[in-house]
Amino acid sequence: MRKVDLKKLLDNLSLEEKIGQLLQVCGYYYEIEGVVTGPQNSAGFNEREIASAGSVLGIAGAERLKKIQKNYMEKHPHQIPLLFMADVINGYKTIFPIPLAQGCSFNPELVKKCAEISAMESAAAGLHLTFSPMVDLVRDPRWGRVMESTGEDTYVNCVFAKATVEGYQGTDGLNKKGRIAACVKHFAGYGAPMAGRDYNTVELSERTLREQYLPPYQAAIEAGCSTVMTSFNTLDRVPSSANKKLMRGILRDEMGFEGMVISDWAAIEELINHGVAQNRSDAARLAIEAGVDIDMMTTCYCRNLKELIENKVVDEALLDDAVMRVLQLKNDLGLFENPFKDADEKDEKTLILCDEHRAFARKLAAETMVLLKNEGILPIPKKGKKIAFIGPHTSRRWICGVWSIFGEEKDVISLEQAVRNKKIENVTFSTGCPILKDTDALELAEKDCTAIAEDNANKQVLLDEAILQAKNADVVVLSLGEHPAQSGEASSRVEPALDAQQIELFNKIYEANPNVVVVLFNGRPLVLGEIFEKAKAVLEAWLPGTEGGNAVADILFGDENPSGKLTMSFPRHIGQIPIYYNDFKTGRPYTGNKGKYFSKYIDCPNSPLLPFGYGLSYTSFEISDVMLDRDSMTCKESIFASVRVKNVGKTAGKEVIQCYIRDEVGSVARPVRELKGFHKVELQPGEEKEIVFEITEEMLRFYTIDMEYKSEPGKFTVWIGSSSQTQNGREFILI
Ligand code: NOJ
């Protein structure tokens, strides 16, 4: 056991040693298995620099990390342990659904448990910190990273930010067994790149930034999140890693964040590309002044800070503060007492992919799936039907999302495997069209995936086989979607839709047998077009992870009743993007009025194909009119708004009761409605429950014309229902 006096330790460090604490290099430099998650062009560290680095990313495994730590500690003059960080985004080895799907569960308890399991497995594998959660608000499905967010709503993102941070870190100390530190990212506004192109400029008004984009980061910070990562983008033309107003003014002074800030991969050096720094030295100065503590994967800090400090360009106190935050985190994790923390080969064996984790992954995956359409064809009876399972995702195991960097394909249950496990009779399986190769996801993401489909020569043979199977079946389950490498970082798409090959497959199969159930495996909302019109049922399965196939089969055959709701709108047309439910009032709102001069398209409705909060069940629920215990309140009072919900179907099921509020008149234009609360309620057939929401003055606050965060008296409308389009509302007054 070793207790350290951090201040004393800091005082004993040389300038180079201190700077070393601020350098993070990737595991690649230690062992070839380390995962590279960004461009390596700039790196080129020398051996001395690598030896001085205070943290490592992208490498895991108890034996490996213990060895690296041991060697490092033996050589380190002050025995300061290394911090091991990685992107454990939706699970370590037990892979859970992508975060976008997790949001659709509307079940923060489950998502918290998912983070707990991810933390346990990661900790056993020697990791100390995960670069998660990403809480960036997203409104543009062209952006590949919507898969890493919980969607388009501020409130939902806040709820899941908190749940995830608490899941990883617990609330009783980071040094506790099975806990890892969380890193909320990407501060700030990374989810709004123009035209959905990754790393592109962000243009947000300060009001929108503060009101809609910052609260989820704040929620993570309030939940105790130890670390914040800067974003790649500019905000008001200033890249975050050089943005003192954002990183010190807003993050630290206003939001009260006291922990460590890490740059995103090479973001400090990219200040040169942004054209705000002349060279690496300039970039290092800007970043340290802005309050960025760790430099991920560039030589900016390690080759320039010393000179900048010696020449009195940068105040050494800034360096000391940054180093202190790194040491503090190492200390909070208990690494000075035990540099290996929970790394343990035996625990790895018992915990990783254990039955309990798999069972939970299956349950969570089923709860994240959203039934988008059902003309009574689902669930499919387990007996008495001939079922043709067709499509490129039917037998695909790699249904995990690109950030499952430690997950392995061999551990994943495909849909085909799951159907076989259920011993369903009279089934056939075929891919129907060429499938994309599961090669290196990063390599795939560099190209247009549709262009590199395997087995193109065999196309007609595959199609003929599938058509024959469809003709002989009562029901076709057609699994379509995106290859996982088509979403995630650096995977923006101008056409968030199914590729031509899969659309052709759908049409050919539909011609052969119109009883088609479409199952979608994808990382973003897609424009579904005629597929949605024609299919008898559509199930959004997202990228569901290790137990994904089992979870889909559970829903298809009625062992689970779907209860997910969309957290991102599905556009009818690409031209509607960005599309989101809580847009602002305009001077010429279109509500079906006759005439031309309204805010609308002449060739497409304004509404999305499927709105935020939407999702079907195998049962039906009746929701009563909204009841208010009073219809006015002062700032000190609250109103209780309630509905009664009844399961009027024949199956037990869960419904997400959602509460939206609109401020009818404000000093600035207000959103048409905003989600203020939700309850997921489980009801047996015939069962009824009352669901109550407390409306407080705090919920009615916004940034007024004077940029004050407060409520304004006046009329409001509250709606309670089962999607963002509910019309079940009542008015109330804030006095
Ligand atoms: C770049 C990504 O933007 C970030 O989210 C990730 O955590 C880092 N690379 C590290 O892999």
Q: What tens digit of pLDDT does each residue of 102-146 get? A: 999 999 999 999 999 999 999 999 999 999 999 999 999 999 999
Task: Tell me if 393 CB under 6 Å of ligand 1.
Answer: no
Q: What angle is formed at CA 508 by the lines to CA 505 and CA 511, rounded to 5 degrees?
A: 145
Whether pLDDT at 394 is above 60? yes
Task: Tell me if 131 CB under 6 Å of ligand 1.
Answer: yes
pLDDT at 39: 67
CA of 265 to the centre of ligand 1 (A): 6
Quick one: three-class SS letters along 70-124?
HHHHHHCCCCCCCEEEECECCCCCCCCCCHHHHHHCCCHHHHHHHHHHHHHHHHH
Tokens of 665: 């008149």
pLDDT at 40: 60
CA of 264 to the centre of ligand 1 (A): 6
Closest CA to 484 of 567, 397, 551: 397
Q: Which letter, b or e, does each residue of 339-363 get, where b requires 16 or more Cβ atoms within 10 Å of its Cβ?
A: bebbbbeebbeebbbeeebbebbbb
Cα-based distances in Å from 459 to 101, 447, 463: 32, 21, 6
Q: Hey, which of 264, 296, 298 would you mutate to test ligand 1's pocket, going by the most ligand atoms within 8 Å of its Cβ? A: 264
Closest CA to 327 of 123, 73, 21, 3: 21
Work out which ligand 1 atom sits closest to the CA atom of 131: 7
Residues 6+ apart with CB under 8 A from 191: 136, 137, 138, 139, 143, 145, 146, 149, 213
Q: What is the DSSP string of 229-278?
A: EE-SSEETTEEGGG-HIIIIIIIIIIT---SEEE--TTTTTHHHHHTS-S
User: What percentage of the chain exceeds 90 in pLDDT?
Assistant: 91
Q: What integer is the mean pLDDT of 48-61?
A: 95
Q: Which letter, b or e, does each residue of 259-272 get, where b requires 16 or more Cβ atoms within 10 Å of its Cβ?
A: bbbbbbbbbbbbbb
How does residue 452 score in pLDDT terms, banded at 50, 70 and 90?
A: very low
Task: Tell me if 489 CB under 6 Å of ligand 1.
Answer: yes
Contact 598, 138 (CB under 8 A): no
Nearest CA to ligand 1 atom 9: 265
* Mean pLDDT of the residues in the chain: 95
Work out which ligand 1 atom sits closest to the CA atom of 35: 11
Element (H, E) at 420: helix 415-421
Cα-Cα-Cα-Cα dihedral of 51, 55, 61, 66, to 10°? 60
Q: Which ranges constitute the DSSP H helices of 246-389?
A: 270-274, 280-290, 300-310, 316-332, 345-351, 355-368
Task: Tell me if 37 CB under 6 Å of ligand 1.
Answer: yes
How does residue 485 score in pLDDT terms, banded at 50, 70 and 90?
A: confident
Work out which ligand 1 atom sits closest to the CA atom of 190: 3
The residues that are catalytic are 264
CA of 231 to the centre of ligand 1 (A): 9
Nearest CA to ligand 1 atom 4: 264
- Domains by residue range for the chain, with CATH: 6-35+42-347 (3.20.20.300), 368-576 (3.40.50.1700), 621-734 (2.60.40.10)
CA of 539 to the centre of ligand 1 (A): 30
Nearest CA to ligand 1 atom 7: 131
How does residue 455 score in pLDDT terms, banded at 50, 70 and 90?
A: low
CA of 619 to the centre of ligand 1 (A): 41
Work out which ligand 1 atom sits closest to the CA atom of 185: 5
Contact 564, 364 (CB under 8 A): no
Task: Tell me if 265 CB under 6 Å of ligand 1.
Answer: yes
| CA-only gyration radius of the chain, Å | 26
CA of 230 to the centre of ligand 1 (A): 10
Work out which ligand 1 atom sits closest to the CA atom of 232: 3
Three-class secondary structure of residue 311 per DSSP:
coil
Nearest CA to ligand 1 atom 3: 264
Whether pLDDT at 388 is above 50? yes
How does residue 457 score in pLDDT terms, banded at 50, 70 and 90?
A: low
From CA 638, how far away is CA 503, in angstroms rounded?
52
User: What percentage of the chain exceeds 70 in pLDDT?
Assistant: 95
Work out which ligand 1 atom sits closest to the CA atom of 148: 5
pLDDT at 30: 82
How does residue 245 score in pLDDT terms, banded at 50, 70 and 90?
A: very high
pLDDT at 458: 81
pLDDT at 272: 98
Q: Which letter, b or e, does each residue of 98-113 get, where b requires 16 or more Cβ atoms within 10 Å of its Cβ?
A: bbbbbbbbbbbebbbb
The model's pLDDT over 298-351, given as tens digits with 9 standing for 90+, comes to 999 999 999 999 999 999 999 999 999 999 999 999 999 999 999 999 999 999
How does residue 439 score in pLDDT terms, banded at 50, 70 and 90?
A: low
How does residue 440 score in pLDDT terms, banded at 50, 70 and 90?
A: very low
Cis upstream peptide for 188 (omega within 30°): yes
From CA 119, how far away is CA 500, in angstroms rounded?
40
Q: Which letter, b or e, does each residue of 76-85 get, where b requires 16 or more Cβ atoms within 10 Å of its Cβ?
A: beeebbbbbb
Task: Tell me if 264 CB under 6 Å of ligand 1.
Answer: yes
Task: Tell me if 38 CB under 6 Å of ligand 1.
Answer: yes
CA of 277 to the centre of ligand 1 (A): 22
pLDDT at 44: 83
Tokens of 292: 């960025």
Whether pLDDT at 32 is above 90? no
pLDDT at 304: 98
pLDDT at 434: 79
Nearest CA to ligand 1 atom 1: 265
Maximal C-alpha separation, the chain = 82
Tokens of 359: 């069972």
Work out which ligand 1 atom sits closest to the CA atom of 183: 7
How does residue 42 score in pLDDT terms, banded at 50, 70 and 90?
A: low
How does residue 443 score in pLDDT terms, banded at 50, 70 and 90?
A: low
The model's pLDDT over 672-712, given as tens digits with 9 standing for 90+, comes to 999 999 999 999 999 999 999 999 999 999 999 999 999 99
pLDDT at 451: 44
Nearest CA to ligand 1 atom 11: 37
Task: Tell me if 87 CB under 6 Å of ligand 1.
Answer: yes
pLDDT at 1: 46
Q: Which residues pair with 717 in a beta bridge?
A: 662, 731
Q: Hey, which of 122, 131, 149, 187 would you mutate to test ligand 1's pocket, going by the most ligand atoms within 8 Å of its Cβ? A: 131
Environment class of 712 (CB within 10 Å of its CB; exposed 0-12, middle 13-18, buried 19+)? middle
Cα-based distances in Å from 205 to 151, 250, 514, 615, 680: 20, 15, 48, 32, 33
How does residue 453 score in pLDDT terms, banded at 50, 70 and 90?
A: low
Q: What integer is the mean pLDDT of 224-228?
A: 98
Contact 480, 391 (CB under 8 A): yes
From CA 327, how far away is CA 106, in angstroms rounded?
37
CA of 726 to the centre of ligand 1 (A): 38
Lowest mean pLDDT across 7-16, 365-374, 435-444, 637-646: 435-444
Element (H, E) at 373: strand 370-374
How do the residues of the chain divide into helix, strand and coil, expressed in percent and rounded to 5? 35, 20, 45
CA of 26 to the centre of ligand 1 (A): 11
- Look at the alpha carbons of 427, 432, 434, 437 in this order and tell me if their dihedral is positive or negative: negative
Q: Hey, which of 37, 57, 136, 442 would you mutate to test ligand 1's pocket, going by the most ligand atoms within 8 Å of its Cβ? A: 37
718: left (phi over 0), alpha (psi -120 to 50) or beta: beta
